[in-house]
């Protein structure tokens, strides 16, 4: 092989490697639907994020018994904390956990559930990718506003859907980039990453709505990525 040809081949491989590294894991979560109903939402004085429930019939993880119970509890708590952290930064003062017995009017309470949670196969995502072994996650979020009489009124709902593992794995990537792709896929895909992206989409949907109503938020308005529509309330 001539020097020029070797250099050309090396540069092409480097370019391919960079493209694969930037897209490895190909994780994406989108808003499938958001509805705002009943009273128009007011800027919340505080937001409480309760741990989401997890549907038994939609859960596919490699755990059983006590290990499964502990996983569910921890996952729900971690998600509530992640969502509260994003809302606190981008919308209004927020904290994870249920509200006090008599929350002040203007308080928001966020509840929800994981409709689907499929951990897929990390090995297949890393080696093959292209959808093989991909994760799947779907959430339903409900937003409640405490009215003047202290009663919660539902004002909105959000569905998010997504997952990770659509990008090529190590085998399709070839000898030049297979190793880096395998490492990056292992470190950037999975249910925990899907949960973080779901929290971001929920926050972005709320940010978008309140900004459209003229409220000034702590940070620049966020915009969710959207899919089709589906009734949720």
Domains of the chain: 42-212 (3.30.160)
Binning pLDDT at 50, 70 and 90, where does residue 111 land? Answer: very high
- Whether 187 has a pLDDT exceeding 80, the answer reads no
Task: Tell me the pLDDT tens digit for each residue of 39-81.
Answer: 778 899 999 999 999 999 888 888 889 999 999 999 999 999 9
- pTM of the prediction? 0.76
From CA 199, how far away is CA 191, in angstroms rounded? Answer: 12
Q: Residue 169: is its pLDDT beyond 90? A: no
């Amino acid at each position: 092989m001539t020097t020029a040809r070797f250099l050309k081949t090396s540069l092409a491989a480097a370019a391919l490697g960079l493209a694969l590294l930037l897209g490895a894991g190909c994780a994406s979560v989108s808003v499938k639907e958001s509805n705002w109903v009943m009273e128009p939402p007011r800027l919340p004085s505080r937001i409480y994020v309760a741990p989401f429930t997890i549907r038994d019939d939609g859960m596919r993880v490699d755990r059983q018994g006590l290990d499964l119970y502990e996983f569910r509890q921890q996952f729900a708590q971690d998600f509530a904390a992640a969502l509260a952290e994003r809302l606190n930064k981008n919308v209004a003062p927020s904290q994870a956990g249920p509200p006090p017995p008599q929350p002040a009017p203007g308080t928001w309470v966020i509840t929800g559930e994981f409709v689907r949670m499929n951990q897929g196969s990390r090995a297949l995502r890393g080696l093959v990718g292209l959808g093989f072994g991909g994760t799947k996650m779907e959430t339903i979020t409900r937003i409640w506003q405490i009215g003047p009489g202290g009663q919660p009124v539902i004002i909105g709902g959000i569905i998010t859907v997504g997952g990770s593992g659509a990008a090529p794995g190590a085998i399709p990537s070839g000898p030049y980039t297979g190793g880096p792709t395998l490492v990056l896929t292992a470190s950037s895909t999975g249910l925990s990453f899907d949960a973080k992206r779901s929290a971001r989409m929920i926050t972005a949907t709320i940010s978008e709505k309140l900004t459209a109503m003229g409220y000034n938020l702590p940070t620049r308005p966020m915009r969710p990525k959207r899919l089709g529509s589906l009734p949720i309330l």
